[in-house]
Amino acid sequence: MGEPLITVTNLDKTYVTRGGSVIRALANLSLAVEAGEFVTIVGQSGCGKTTFLKILAGLLPRTTGQVTVRGRAVDGPSRDIGIVFQDPVLLPWRTVLDNVLLPVQVLRLDRQVYRPRALELLRLVGLTGFEDRYPHELSGGMRQRVAIARALVHDPSLLLMDEPFGALDAMTREHMNLELLRIWREAGKTVLFVTHSIPEAVFLADRVVVLSARPGRIVEIVRVDLPRPRDLDMMATDEFGVYTRKIRHLFDARGWVD
């Protein structure tokens, strides 16, 4: 397997609130993610999932511990990372295509070179024909797909996703999960995906990282050996149920789920 793409060692993150009290968000987190892996992180609201992702993205400083991507310490934003946020965060005055090309413009890459790539990514997320539309003309699911294309346009090797489908209705969400697996397979990226839905975490992942309530620490890493490519029928199988039950019990045992 060689060198892991991401190595997190003994990561701690504490905040000082305005009132002066110290909040420990992440405690002694260690994790290694291989290139090409799909890892989901599941935990309750407020367990530090988003904080963890933001530290990996270089958007937040860590308190103690080491975080390396490709062997290099993370000390700021990196162009080798694409991020999909909870909201699509599209720029309403830009067309779909120009939104996808935003990273190309910011990173001062050649637009002419990346334009075909952006069009190809829009095809990949099923938005061919919508290049010249504006975000307000798209549905919520379509906007989030534009955001995914944007996160991939500058060809980062790592894709960080922070509950990207949380705002979508259940059916659109399942559809988006399938789409994401297809994109992941075709684009060959490493994905770190944060969610609070246990079925979503199991359905997508090679490995599910179960985080405890605050301060977030790793309770267990569950390897999911369901065959790929996966389809929605799989969610009804006993095997799938075994995984979701196992993870749910990890939460129940600690009294975190009402």
Partner 1 sequence: MADDLAVTPTAWRELLADPRAFVRSRPHLPLIPLVFVAFIALWEWAVRAWEIPPFLVPAPSAVAAALVGGLASQLYVAHFWVTLSEALAGFLIAAVAGVVLGAVIAQFRLVEQTLYPYLVALQTLPKIAIAPLIIVWFGFGITSKVVIAAMVSFFPVLVNVIVGLKTVDQGKLDLMRSLDASRWQTFWMVKFPNALPFVFAGLDVAIVFSVLGAIVGEFVGAQQGLGNLILQFNFTLDIAGVFSVLILLSVLGVSLHLLMQVLQRRLIFWAEPEQVIGA
Neighbours of 108 (CB within 10 A): 7
Residues 6+ apart with CB under 8 A from 65: 8, 9, 10, 11, 12, 28, 29
Closest approach of partner 1 to the CB of residue 87, in Å: 6
- Closer residue to partner 1 in complex, CB, 85/256: 85
Closest approach of partner 1 to the CB of residue 55, in Å: 12
Q: How far apart are CA 189 and CA 98, in angstroms?
A: 23
- Closer residue to partner 1 in complex, CB, 77/188: 77
Closest approach of partner 1 to the CB of residue 83, in Å: 5
- Closer residue to partner 1 in complex, CB, 166/248: 166
Residues in the chain: 258
Closest approach of partner 1 to the CB of residue 105, in Å: 7
Asked if residues 163 and 83 have their Cβ atoms less than 8 Å apart, the reply is no
Residues found near partner 1 in the complex (CB under 8 A): 57-59, 76-79, 81, 83, 85, 87, 89, 91-93, 102-103, 105-107, 134-136
- Closer residue to partner 1 in complex, CB, 10/105: 105
Asked if residues 1 and 50 have their Cβ atoms less than 8 Å apart, the reply is no
Neighbours of 251 (CB within 10 A): 18
Q: To 5 degrees, how large is the angle CA 160–CA 165–CA 170?
A: 150
Q: To 5 degrees, how large is the angle CA 71–CA 76–CA 79?
A: 75
Closest approach of partner 1 to the CB of residue 251, in Å: 29
- Closer residue to partner 1 in complex, CB, 80/206: 80
Residues 6+ apart with CB under 8 A from 242: none
- Closer residue to partner 1 in complex, CB, 125/208: 125
- Closer residue to partner 1 in complex, CB, 74/219: 74
Closest approach of partner 1 to the CB of residue 92, in Å: 4
Centroid of chain to Cα 56: 11
Cis amide linkage into residue 103, ω under 30° from 0: no
Q: To 5 degrees, how large is the angle CA 208–CA 213–CA 217?
A: 60
Closest approach of partner 1 to the CB of residue 7, in Å: 20
Q: How far apart are CA 153 and CA 81, in angstroms?
A: 11
